[in-house]
Structure 1
Amino acid sequence: MTESIQLKIENKVATITLNRPEVFNSINREMAFLFQDTLDACEKNDEVRAIVITGSGKAFGAGQDLKEVTDPDLNPGFKKILDEHYNPIITRIRNIKKPIVAAVNGVAAGAAANIALSCDIVVAHEKASFIQAFSLIGLVPDSGGTFFLPRLIGFQKASALAMLGDKISAEDADKMGMIYKAIPAEQFEEEVSKLALKLASMPTKALGFIKELFNKSVTNSLQEQLALESKFQIEAAQSDDYAEGVAAFMEKRKPEFKGR
């Protein structure tokens, strides 16, 4: 039986692939737990310095597997689905101190769209699309959708997309600041690889600090954020990577960062 989550580690980049292409990578209970375990493994593996999340087949992900929630023998209930499936996935993505790229290869709907938007950098195939599909079946956005979306594109656009369930093309998502950029079809895999390899070669200790600073900026006052910047800057300045970065700059050579 093919695993619903596939993991490949190469050149210090871990690629996590949502792998139920026959149902557009919709997520069921087994897949959700395997996703969490895979994220944990990537966090603990010192060889992994950057993570890519993508989908197999035509879709990035269709969100929750509706067959599971409509089957009385399988349905775990929405409380378990959120408390045990999606909320832990989003929490892991935001708390792992390694850069995480969402490589959206096709449609990203519902929870899958919001899993993508929770990542540090989101790139999308030019034919990919995003849809907050919840309202179309009488639900509300979950998996951090009401948190990330208004912060990315503003209250008005986020409210409209959540309520209307409009499908947004990769190009439009790029223009409105929902994602980092849309990538032409023929360049997608190469550009994703270049981006991930670049992140993996960078001073990932500092990237982890940047990620935590952005997380805290949501609730911190300006003074609290300035204090936290100071704290992390002092720590970053004591790292091996900082010493290497300065030495490489002075010696006019390419730095070799170790993430320490």
Structure 2
Amino acid sequence: MSIDDLRPRIDWGKYQTLTLDRRDGGVLLVTIAEPDGFPAPTLTRRHTEISHVWRDFADDPELRVAVITGRGDKFWTVEGTDGIEEMLENPGSYANTVNLIREGLANVHGIVNCDKPIVSAINGEAMGSGLAVALLADVSVAATDARLIDGHLLQGIAAGDHSVMIWPLLCGMAKAKYHLLASEDLTGEVAERIGLVSAAVPAGDVLDTALGIAHRMAAGPQHALRWTKRSLNHWLRTATPAFEASLGFEALSFFGPDLVEALKAQIENRSPEFATPLPW
């Protein structure tokens, strides 16, 4: 029996919301589908697929580096009111909350613990789980006019899918607190200036720049590359308790009234009025 006999058989055809393009030199280009017109189940599937693709990428012996980008002028957005009525009917669903935690853990730990490099090409608006992928990538290239939005607090929920782990390391605690606690989104240009992304370039150059970086890494010494990434990511692993606490608080937020108010405000096209009485 050889090591190849023990490798998992990867079904790349199972992905419906991600387009996978194998490039020369062992580079995998992952393109996130646009959410326009997607029904809520498809958006849910996109969330699930992004949390599983990194394991398949890590297990494929022919692949060396991944580049992830969005289609058109969006990286990852959540648009419209699909699924909001359903959430309003049962915002504190225990089963949904458990699934949120499971997939949040899979997405973040999948990127951090994947020894192969991942490059993000942030071609436009990025939020939610997509923002987590964009900023947890080993190298992040953003369009200067891209919008990076961590809107958790605007939805009445704690920021829990990545930011507590990575933002203070990238841009410092003062900037992290400002943008997260004040829900202040920022452009790719500003994100580069404060250190939140690796580079900001004109929108038309984002993907080519990211692919160029990926091909350069794919041509390098693979064991040394992966061991260096693994060593660097111990900084992120030290923040795992903070990340998992934040994910738990985000999950708890789904059982409170602030999320309901935020969802109603979105349907009614108004600003939410949070007035939760504090028991402590």
Short-chain TM bin: 0.7 to 0.9
Name the CA shift for 1:62/1:142 in 2 (closer, same or farther; >3 Å). Answer: farther
TM-score, normalization by structure 2: 0.70
Q: Which amino acid letter does the alignment assign opposite residue 5 of structure 1?
A: L
Find the counterpart in structure 1 of residue 31 from structure 2: 17
Q: Is 1:111–1:143's contact at 8 Å kept on the other side of the alignment?
A: yes
Asked if 1:78 corresponds to 2:97, the answer is yes
Name the CA shift for 1:218/1:21 in 2 (closer, same or farther; >3 Å). Answer: closer
Query: What is the correspondence of 1:22-101 to structure 2 with a 5 Å cutoff?
Result: 22=36, 28-62=43-77, 67-68=82-83, 70-71=85-86, 77-83=96-102, 85-101=103-119
Count matched residues.
Answer: 218
Q: Which amino acid letter does the alignment assign opposite residue 77 of structure 1?
A: N
TM-score, normalization by structure 1: 0.75
Q: CA deviation at 1:181?
A: 0.5
Distance (whole Å) between structure 1 residues aligned to residue 83 and residue 52 of structure 2 = 21
Bigger shift: 31-40 or 41-50?
31-40
Identity %: 24
Aligned-residue RMSD, C-alpha: 2.7
Bigger shift: 105-114 or 31-40?
31-40
Task: From 3, 16, 21, give the equivalent of 1:3.
Answer: 16
Q: Could you list the runs of 4 or more consecutive aligned residues of structure 1 that deviate by over 6 angstroms after TM superposition?
A: none
| 2:68 aligned counterpart, secondary structure | strand
Distance (whole Å) between structure 1 residues aligned to residue 64 and residue 172 of structure 2 = 31
Q: Is 1:102–1:119's contact at 8 Å kept on the other side of the alignment?
A: yes
Distance (whole Å) between structure 1 residues aligned to residue 229 and residue 120 of structure 2 = 15
Distance (whole Å) between structure 2 residues aligned to residue 69 and residue 109 of structure 1 = 17
Q: CA deviation at 1:17?
A: 1.4
Q: Give the gaps of 5 or more residues in structure 2.
A: 1-14, 239-280
| 2:157 aligned counterpart, secondary structure | coil
Q: CA deviation at 1:63?
A: 5.7
Query: What is the correspondence of 1:140-219 to structure 2 with a 5 Å cutoff?
Result: 140-218=158-236
Q: Which amino acid letter does the alignment assign opposite residue 166 of structure 1?
A: E
